[in-house]
Structure 1
Amino acid sequence: MLPAHRSSPLPSRRNLLAAAGIGGAVIGLAACSSNQPAKPSPAADRSDEWRTLRIDSWETYGNTLGEDFPGIEEFAKQYDVDVSYWKAVTDDNLYYNDVKTRLASGSDIGADAVVLSEWMVARWIRLGYTQQFALDTMPNTVNVRPRFREAAFDPKRMHSMPWRSAITGIAWNRAEFPDGIRSVSQLWDPALKGRVGVLSSMQETIGLIMLDAGVDISGAWGDAEFTAATDTLHQHVVSGQVAAIQDSKYLDALTSGDIVAGFARSADILRLNQAAAARAGSGEAFDEPWGFAIPAAGGVLWTQDLVVPIGSARKGNVEAFVNHYYEPTVAVQVAAATNYVSPVDIRDQEASALDPAVAANRLVFPTPVSLQGTKTFRHLAAAEEQRYIAQYQSVLLAASS
């Protein structure tokens, strides 16, 4: 049953959309126009002189940013580079809208490397806002898993480096659902009305709905399949079945009890359960509060990539940094600390140094077999991206009125 009094009332749908960057995404659509100015030229590399490096990444790395990020101190000592790791990205569109004017002019945006979702990385590459990596200085790129070595928008990985990955599936409050939830369709049960959350990310939310309808989201689908999925979402938002459409703030709704089930990212739920265990303390019986499952119809495997903005004068420092983190002994530390899937093919030899329970977690250290239940949302051409984002936003905005 719903609690009689909510400790942290859910904001209005309109406010949720604004917080998730939906309004900003509409503005961002202008970047897809075919009438683009000449692409800017990359800044001259001054890494030999400027021994600093700033990386803008997602706040959802939890407490592992800054000097506590695994391997930072080791890299700084080895390369004499002072690294700062900023929690600067909360939403791809919000970040892009903040820096796009400087990117278009080739100016320095402050960051020397930025971690973004692949669809946004594809836009930056298309617009000429990224620098090309000197792969001959990055021998550890051979350690990248075959699944991440190529991208439709960057076939030879010249402008982007896979940085972290995870699986989007279904999470639920285990006290309310001891038997778990195994399909998207179960979330549409009227008994859950007003207690279901979905993510603001189009690829994740629409991807899961399409998979539930039997669509291979990595294959050859088109307008009909996308429209059917957005219609499904529209139906459940307007009816009140879906109470929240959020970015990373969905974790607050889960922990407060405002949302008891919905779409979620594997790394986030693992981290929530770890935090709950830490609060419970040792020596006490502990049941994880939240369950997570890859739906039977499939989960969405997503990747965020690292790029060098066109105006950065420290590309060489970034290349050394990525090469350092593509060393398997370093990559295994990052995966264990953050709960994200590493792009590096981590072998049993590296994982053997971890707690066996951590190493056995297939949401963090997947095998080719465990990844078979996931699909990646296919790359959208510029015209498709513009059309589908507008369609997705129109559903959300109509529902908020």
Structure 2
Amino acid sequence: MKPLSRRALLHVLGAGAGAAALAGCGVPPAYVAPADRAATDRSGRDRSLVFANWPLYIDTDDKDPQKRPTLDGFQRETGISVTYTEEINDNDEFFGKISPALMNHQDTGRDLIVVSDWMASRYVRLGWVQPMDRDRQPHVAKELDPLLRRPAFDPGRLHTVPWQSGITGIAYNRRKLGREIRRTADLWHDDLRGRVTLLSGMDEAFCMLMQGNGADVTRWTADDFHTMTEQLRGLVRRRHIRRFTGNDYIKDLSSGDVLACQAYSGDIIQLQADNPDIAFVVPEEGAELWAESLMIPDLARHKANAEQLIDHYYRPETAARLAASVNYVCPVPAARHVLADSKDKEEAELAENPLIFPSDDMRRRLATARDISAKERPAFAKEWNEIVGL
């Protein structure tokens, strides 16, 4: 069996506990004007940088987990020393950790961070991250997946670059259910009453559910949101939804307590290795393609070094090695050809896995939702939390 996925490990650690409370704590965020975001870049004389990431989100050597081949290769090639920390366990928790420095116009001590795009939108809106110099990033400019190039919160991807991507869709046990699931509405059939779960996080769950009702999530409205929540209220009243979950849906699906659930593509790849009856579906109405993105915080001291590291991971060979290790949707489509040519049978098979390189048919059904604005969020979160019981 493969190791726990990154998301599964975070659930075990209980990283999400208290996140909602942390998000609302402290001094109100302060906007930073463009002219006040950059510090004197020390990259030329100080060949180093600090990179903060999530646990289990980079390739490691099979014999020595402390070695990270793609990162080690960058350091050998460039002479840039990278201090790599696995300190991001939750988007809100990390926001609370570095926001005092950013709102008070201080260096965070980090040159590169990775957060989910729904949270990245908050940093961009507040002016807490710097625009990148694409002249230093020719591979990003050339290789970034077109589906990920134009998020509503960061047109042109000037402030953010996807580290990895994924799909929030439907997972189910094909043998135990005894039928196929093709649409979101298939989750509401009577044979799944009490045997289906949805994700508890509003930002993780709402997109696919609105798509199931026919909404265009790239420009969804308040009416679309309320239609979706009213539908959920009815399902909860009828006890159709077993519960709203974090990553514990993995355990429920594996044990058979749950027959279908809202799920992340990266988790299901690992479940399928042990149980081929587990299927993952992008519903006919569509599902969300999300990303967790690299950003350079305000006043970072090694901006050019950080830009160079980002570009390193957009080389198809590097992206392929990372994708083969973490099993998320690769933001570099050209990495597929690298894996297909691999002499390693398992790596070559990954090139044909649609949960790492979505098929053309699947790609036509993927969309990235517009983010929830700061003005909308309090009321929407209150309505959502009343339904899921948070």
User: Is 2:320–2:339's contact at 8 Å kept on the other side of the alignment?
Assistant: yes
Which residue number corresponds to residue 156 of structure 2? 156
User: Is 1:42–1:106's contact at 8 Å kept on the other side of the alignment?
Assistant: no
Equivalent-residue separation in structure 1 for 2:175 and 2:102 (angstroms): 48
Equivalent-residue separation in structure 2 for 1:236 and 1:144 (angstroms): 39
What's the CA shift string for 1:231-258, capped at 9, x where partnerless? 2233334554334433444334434555
Which residue number corresponds to residue 293 of structure 2? 305
Which residue number corresponds to residue 73 of structure 1? 72
Count of residues paired in the alignment: 367
Equivalent-residue separation in structure 2 for 1:380 and 1:29 (angstroms): 21
The more displaced of 300-309 and 240-249 is 240-249
1:327 to 315, 321, 338: 315
The alignment's C-alpha RMSD in Å is 3.0
* Superposition deviation, residue 377 in structure 1: 1.0
Match of 2:291, SS? strand
Equivalent-residue separation in structure 2 for 1:28 and 1:60 (angstroms): 30
Shift in alpha-carbon separation, 1:346–1:229, aligned structure 2, 3 A: same
User: Is 2:32–2:128's contact at 8 Å kept on the other side of the alignment?
Assistant: no
* Superposition deviation, residue 58 in structure 1: 3.1
Which residue number corresponds to residue 372 of structure 1? 364
The answer as to 2:40 corresponding to 1:52 is no
Which residue number corresponds to residue 387 of structure 2? 395
The answer as to 2:320 corresponding to 1:338 is no
Percent of aligned pairs with the same residue? 31
Equivalent-residue separation in structure 1 for 2:172 and 2:27 (angstroms): 34
* Superposition deviation, residue 27 in structure 1: 4.5
Shift in alpha-carbon separation, 1:38–1:154, aligned structure 2, 3 A: closer
* Superposition deviation, residue 262 in structure 1: 0.6
Which residue number corresponds to residue 382 of structure 1? 374
Which residue number corresponds to residue 17 of structure 2? 19
Equivalent-residue separation in structure 1 for 2:233 and 2:22 (angstroms): 20
* Superposition deviation, residue 222 in structure 1: 0.9
Letter in 2 for 1:75: F
Shift in alpha-carbon separation, 1:348–1:190, aligned structure 2, 3 A: closer
Which residue number corresponds to residue 357 of structure 1? 349
User: Is 2:320–2:335's contact at 8 Å kept on the other side of the alignment?
Assistant: no
Equivalent-residue separation in structure 1 for 2:60 and 2:187 (angstroms): 33
Instruction: Spell out the pairing of 1:155-174 with structure 2 (5 A cutoff).
Output: 155-174=155-174
TM-score (norm 2): 0.82
Instruction: Spell out the pairing of 1:142-221 with structure 2 (5 A cutoff).
Output: 142-218=142-218, 220-221=219-220
* Superposition deviation, residue 158 in structure 1: 2.2
What's the CA shift string for 1:111-160, capped at 9, x where partnerless? 32111121211110111111221221112122212222333222232211
The answer as to 2:283 corresponding to 1:291 is no
Shift in alpha-carbon separation, 1:155–1:37, aligned structure 2, 3 A: closer
Which residue number corresponds to residue 4 of structure 2? none
The more displaced of 348-357 and 137-146 is 348-357
Shift in alpha-carbon separation, 1:158–1:177, aligned structure 2, 3 A: same
User: Is 1:70–1:337's contact at 8 Å kept on the other side of the alignment?
Assistant: no
Letter in 2 for 1:270: I
Structure 1: gaps spanning 5 or more residues: 1-15, 277-286
Match of 2:279, SS? strand
Shift in alpha-carbon separation, 1:242–1:270, aligned structure 2, 3 A: same
Which residue number corresponds to residue 139 of structure 2? 140
* Superposition deviation, residue 43 in structure 1: 3.4
User: Is 2:31–2:128's contact at 8 Å kept on the other side of the alignment?
Assistant: no
Equivalent-residue separation in structure 1 for 2:22 and 2:317 (angstroms): 39
Match of 2:86, SS? strand
Equivalent-residue separation in structure 2 for 1:170 and 1:29 (angstroms): 39
Match of 1:370, SS? helix
Equivalent-residue separation in structure 2 for 1:29 and 1:181 (angstroms): 46
User: Is 2:59–2:322's contact at 8 Å kept on the other side of the alignment?
Assistant: no
The more displaced of 134-143 and 229-238 is 229-238
Equivalent-residue separation in structure 1 for 2:295 and 2:383 (angstroms): 28
Match of 1:71, SS? helix
Match of 1:268, SS? helix
Match of 2:121, SS? helix
Match of 2:177, SS? coil
User: Is 2:111–2:300's contact at 8 Å kept on the other side of the alignment?
Assistant: yes
Match of 2:376, SS? helix
The more displaced of 126-135 and 365-374 is 365-374
TM-score (norm 1): 0.80
Equivalent-residue separation in structure 1 for 2:108 and 2:245 (angstroms): 27
User: Is 1:174–1:289's contact at 8 Å kept on the other side of the alignment?
Assistant: yes
User: Is 1:298–1:375's contact at 8 Å kept on the other side of the alignment?
Assistant: yes
* Superposition deviation, residue 363 in structure 1: 1.9
What's the CA shift string for 1:254-307, capped at 9, x where partnerless? 345554421001111102333x3xxxxxxxxxx525221111221111122110
Equivalent-residue separation in structure 2 for 1:132 and 1:360 (angstroms): 35
Match of 1:345, SS? coil
Shift in alpha-carbon separation, 1:67–1:322, aligned structure 2, 3 A: farther
Letter in 1 for 2:149: R
Equivalent-residue separation in structure 1 for 2:94 and 2:60 (angstroms): 21
